[in-house]
Amino acid sequence: MSVPERQGPRAIDAIIRRYREVLLGFALKLCGRPDEAQDLVQDAFERALRSQMMRLPEDELRAWLFTVLHNLFIDRCRRRARGPQHDRVDSVDVAAREPEPVPAWAALDVAQVEAALQQLDPLYRDPFRMCELEGLSYADIAARLGAPIGTIGSRIMRARQQLRVILQGAVEKR
Amino acid sequence: MSDSMHDLIGAFYDGELPAAEADAFRAHLGECDRCQAELREMMLLSAAAQPLATAQSRPAAAPVIALATRRRRTIIAAVSVLAVAAGLVLAWKLTQPKPIMLALASARPIESRLSVPSADRWRPYDVARANATASEEIPVDTMAALERRHDLHGLADAYLLSGEAARAGELLARQPASADVESDAAAVALQTGDAAAALTHATRALAMSPGHRQAAWNRALALRDLGLPRAAAAAFDEVARRQEPGWSSEAMARAKSLREVEASRDALRAAAERAVASGDTSDPSLTRALPALFAHARAVAAHDAAHDPWRLLDDEWRATRVQLTGGDAAAAEKRAIDGFSRALAAGIAPGELPRRFLLLAADAARAGRRDVVADAYVDEARRLATP
């Protein structure tokens, strides 16, 4: 998809529709509450629309949306940690910092990510795939792999660490 | 903050922490730079991997779009202009999808969950109304809109919600097989009181899509209706762990009350077994408490001939039970399967076998066997029930 194509309102609609469900899923995992998740995702899109980020190439835009979602969520956690007197003051969000630039490894294209995934030991790759790509619970993954449930979380974290290193390497080789 | 808190980040991100721990972790996140940075990296990795997830998922998402109203399309068209003219911020607000809402009433008329997203909003279960005729009024034009759009799956769910389970079942039977369709077929079967069929459909749905939320819920209800409260409670525990608002706390409450049922059954069990042994099954309170066990006892009483297949079956069943409680599970299972095979060879109608297996499964659960064994019996019953 070329950049100018995405600038039109129709393209913006398409992007919003494509990523809304995805972001909502992540936001719900983070917040644990659908109303908060909706707010976060809405804020993330508003920020994207305001800052013209919708013009970015899609891989970069996606990483950027996730970063914004992260920042908005952390802001919420901070406010909550500071105490109830700051709760519900939505204006705090408006002043929230602009996200730092997206690292290049997070905006690699799908083929490069798949290639990186292939380099992982299946011991780590399989549970990571099931968790991250299929959305299975640790219990379901343990049952599928015939592995003790206690090992699933650490295998997934291991996969994440290794994957980051491999993706970073792929960027440096470019 | 302790190291152990940092270690929870993976489980938090993957939605594996119980609600209270997740809240504690959110509080920790607000103050911990290290965990914030780690979370950011995990989210960026998710962003990078996300196209792979989309690539390998799910034709099942189609009904969401299919359920969009004409109004929504109009709004989107209008918004496309507005987005340029009146400001992009507004665009997002107005492009929020407005699916045809099927779940409009404040309480839900059926216990099961439906796969069409607009019908799956959590609402408290309306026990009082459900006992009469379970239904909610779906506006005629909603039905018409679904029909015009040939969204037969959405229409099936609408029928189910409005108390017309049979029509819903017919529509679903004409849909191509998918986890969503199987899960909703389970809901139909639950509504018509066919728990064994409900289990079959829900299990199929989960085989197609292991994380299927509605199917996991419907499977738990089927297990409960089959007289397997322990397995049902475990299944609801699994649902509760997903932390879906509303559904999660209802699942927890259901698991808790199923465990209470289980405990009171345990207390009655000794008395019931004495009654079965003495042949006096007339105590109405026991009959009410343990219908499965007494149905079995009556079956024994009704089929007393020496080589009656029922008798053969029941002998095996009794022997198995002894072995189960005696602890030799592997031998008990093998013997049960052998016994059932012989009973089948001796001429028991295959249709009766699933029920027998289910009784055995219930008993295995009561005897403290792991639920997975009970599930194995159920699976076996299902296999036998499939021609």
Nearest to B158 by CA among B149, B150, B167, B198: B167
B207 contacts chain A (CB < 8 A): no
User: Where is pLDDT greater, at A101 or A27?
Assistant: A27
Q: Which residue of A77, A137, A164 is in closest CB contact with B29? A: A77
Distance separating alpha carbons of residues A77 and A63, to the nearest angstrom: 21
pLDDT, average across residues B113-131: 73
For Cα atoms B163, B168, B170, give the angle at the middle one, nearest 5 degrees: 140
pTM of the predicted protein model: 0.44
User: Residue A164: is its pLDDT beyond 80?
Assistant: yes
Q: Which residue of B27, B76, B84 is in closest CB contact with A81? A: B27
CB contact under 8 A, A117 and B10: no
B175: confidence class by pLDDT, cuts 50, 70, 90: confident
pLDDT digits (tens, 9 = 90+) for B176-193: 889 999 999 999 999 888
pLDDT at B284: 53
Distance from CA of A61 to the nearest CA of B (A): 10
Q: Are B327 and B320 in contact (CB under 8 A)?
A: no
Q: Provide the chain B residues 15-74 that lie in CB contact (below 8 A) with chain A.
A: 15-16, 19, 22-23, 26-27, 29-31, 36, 39-57, 61, 64
User: Residue B13: is its pLDDT beyond 50?
Assistant: yes
Three-class SS of residue A154?
helix
A98: confidence class by pLDDT, cuts 50, 70, 90: low
Distance separating alpha carbons of residues B384 and B344, to the nearest angstrom: 10
Distance separating alpha carbons of residues B46 and A27, to the nearest angstrom: 12
pLDDT at A12: 72
pLDDT digits (tens, 9 = 90+) for A114-154: 999 999 999 999 999 999 988 888 988 998 898 888 899 99
Distance separating alpha carbons of residues A158 and A54, to the nearest angstrom: 33
Distance separating alpha carbons of residues A65 and B328, to the nearest angstrom: 57
User: Where is pLDDT greater, at B44 or A86?
Assistant: B44
Q: Between B371-385 and B329-345, two packed helices, what is the crossing angle to 10 degrees?
A: 10
A100: confidence class by pLDDT, cuts 50, 70, 90: confident
User: Residue B332: is its pLDDT beyond 70?
Assistant: no
pLDDT at B109: 79
Longest CA–CA separation in chain B, Å: 88
B76 contacts chain A (CB < 8 A): yes
- Which residue type, as a one-letter code, is found at position A10? R
Distance separating alpha carbons of residues B60 and A134, to the nearest angstrom: 13
CB contact under 8 A, A32 and B243: yes
Please report, in angstroms and rounded to a whole number, the separation of the first and last CA atoms in chain B: 60
For Cα atoms A93, A99, A102, give the angle at the middle one, nearest 5 degrees: 155
Nearest to B238 by CA among A144, A153, A31, A139: A139
| Percent of residues, chain B, with pLDDT higher than 90 | 16
What does the H/E/C string look like for B195-250?
Answer: HHHHHHHHHHHHHHCCCCHHHHHHHHHHHHHCCCHHHHHHHHHHHHCCCCCCHHHH
- Which residue type, as a one-letter code, is found at position A71? N
In this structure, the dihedral spanned by the alpha carbons of residues A66, A69, A75 and A76, taken in order and rounded to 10 degrees, is -140
Mean pLDDT rounded to a whole number for chain A: 81
pLDDT at B292: 47
Lowest mean pLDDT, pick from B53-57, B107-111, B222-226: B53-57
pLDDT, average across residues B49-77: 46
Q: Are A62 and A110 in contact (CB under 8 A)?
A: no
pLDDT at B4: 76
pLDDT at B365: 54
pLDDT at B326: 57
